[in-house]
Amino acid sequence: MGRPVVVFTDTEDLDPEPAARMLEDAGFEVRVGDSRDPDVIASLAADAVALIVGYARVDAALLDRLPGVRMIATMSAGYDMIDTAEAARRGLWVTNLPSVATEDVAVHAFACALSLVRRLPQADAVVRAGGWNEEFAAGGLPRRASELTLGLVGLGRIARHLATLAAPVFGRIAAHDPHTAQADWPAGVERYDDLDALAAATDVLSLHVPLTPATRGIADARLFGRLRPGGLFVNVSRGELVDTAALLDALDSGRLAGAALDVLPVEPPPPGDPLRGHPDIRLSPHSAYLSDTSRRAYVCKPAENVIAWHRTGRPVTPVVDPTAPSVEGATV
């Protein structure tokens, strides 16, 4: 009998080599793909027992072609690329990485917020163009951070870490998260049970929610319209959370003064994408999660999930648990 097969579907910019060594030492055969194409994945993983997934879509159609797969490990905190309901129906495990890059993403979001508040890109452009502080001030003065409210949509690990970083700098930290009980609400963060009310009290709004049918397009014209005039917007979560037409309109109308986006609906954005050329949008290439430490963890932690599942019958960080009493209760 051959060694069980694990397939890396799409590794993006990550190096799977250390994880491949771990898996081989644990008795697996490892194959590394470089494609989100379901035909390529189906060919490579026809006899696989586990997939380690970057951003490739894993749905019913693909799973029909992979009858041996019993475990799907994502290389991210988000797992919206996996049809979790279908995985639960088939009795498959699905895992994610809930805390590998918590610090990195929180620091990136904080840096984005401060860059917007202090107008650092504009200051840089003035100096490079031969100007100095008179020219910079003519474009609008930064507002003092201690007089501003940072609003967080979602209060998971990353948002909580951001709140800790931002508390000594911003005047107020507020958040909306209907899934967090009052007993678990962190001290120093004001609670808003209504998202519109949070937006109306916020100067800098930062998104920290997973992509679900309920959150898709949550940052829309209504939300931007509720923000305080001259508001600032940060998104380090998922590009599809944002109605980009509404964002552009809010910026062009002056309702928003600036936005920082680490994630976009299409990545990388095509040359004609208006998000790329807008003067009030600061972009980073979906790099909030990257650091020298997290880069290795993003491949090794999924491998640890696969190894734990194979040895003990249970992975370390499941989000779909087929041993739950019902399909409805299987997604954790």
C-alpha 90/C-alpha 310 separation (Å) is: 18
Q: Which residues sit opposite 258 in a β-bridge?
A: 232
Helix, strand, coil in percent for the chain, rounding step 5:
40, 20, 45
- Dist CA 135 CA 284 (whole Å): 26
Give the whole-angstrom CA distance, residue 201 versus residue 184: 22
> Within 13 Å of residue 251, how many CA atoms lie on the same side as its CB?
19
Active site residue 267: yes
- Whether 238 is a known active-site residue: answer yes
Rg of the chain taking only CA atoms, in angstroms? 22
Q: Is 176 annotated as catalytic?
A: no
Choice among 238, 295, 304, 310 that is catalytic: 238
Tell the burial category of 320 from Cβ atoms under 10 Å away from its Cβ (0-12, 13-18, 19+).
buried
- Burial state string for 36-65 with b = 16 or more CB within 10 A and e = fewer than 16: bebeebbebbeebbbbbbbbbebeeebbee
Helix 292-312 and helix 17-25, axial crossing angle in degrees, nearest 10 = 20
Catalytic residue among 160, 172, 226, 286: 286
Q: Which of the residues 267, 276, 311, 314 is marked catalytic?
A: 267
Give SS3 for 280.
coil
DSSP H helices, 47-201, are 60-64, 84-90, 102-118, 120-128, 133-138, 157-166, 195-200
- φ, ψ of residue 46 in degrees (nearest 5): -55, -30
Catalytic residue positions, numbered: 238, 267, 286
